[in-house]
Amino acid sequence: MSEIWKSSEMPLSNRQKGEIMENQPTETPLQKLKPREIYWKLFTITLALSASTFGGGFVIIGMMKQKFVEKLRWLGEEEMLDMTAIAQSSPGALGVNIAIVVGYRLMKFWGAVVCALAAVLPPLIIISIISLFYNQFKDNAVIAIALQVMRAGVAAVICSVVIDLAKNIFKTKSALWITLMVAAFIATCFFKVSAIVIILICGAIGLGTVLWEDRKGKKA
């Protein structure tokens, strides 16, 4: 009996320690924070992005990807891609939609409320101030030149976002998704097909593919 007790107290080898460490659940960066800290970060980050982003929703999507995926690692690449598709297929402003989806994914209902408020406040305040002085600077040559320069920068940021999203599609190595992406691009650029029509068609094809794969898996 004493030999069994002694053997149970023998030190573990490095290999056994490694296996134990691998089997233990790893704590994500998000789980290390308190809910209050997460809400505050969601509000301040979304507020800063909304206040400093010009050029529409695609620009803020790229900024959110850099912040929540690459820097904080609160979200994954595929998650961000899926949330972009959801935000784009929903009615309303794309920047507000993506903020709501990200907030809900991270902290459910109140996360969505916090991110929506943070996304709406900056443009509401800025546009309200501009509207008061619109007549004073609408014909100002300096402001017109500044806006043209900003458009060039916005176009570059949008191109960067499109390239990143396309890379994620190519990473799937799915002939169907790559073909759909190319077909959607051609339909939009050359045949002026409405984005709503393209989204509905792609959504129907995606739903049909999931149902077909699910049925195929059950038969197997």
Residues 104, 112 contacting (CB under 8 angstroms): yes
Query: Residue 153 and residue 157: Cα distance in Å, rounded?
Result: 6
What is the tens place of the pLDDT at every residue in 110-167? 999 999 999 999 989 988 888 887 777 767 778 778 777 877 877 887 788 788 888 8
In the chain, what is the straight-line distance between the N-terminal and C-terminal CA atoms, in Å?
A: 51
Count of alpha carbons within 13 angstroms of residue 127, beta-carbon side? 7
97 vs 15, more confident: 97
* Residue 198 CB neighbour total at 10 angstroms: 17
Query: Residue 92 and residue 70: Cα distance in Å, rounded?
Result: 27
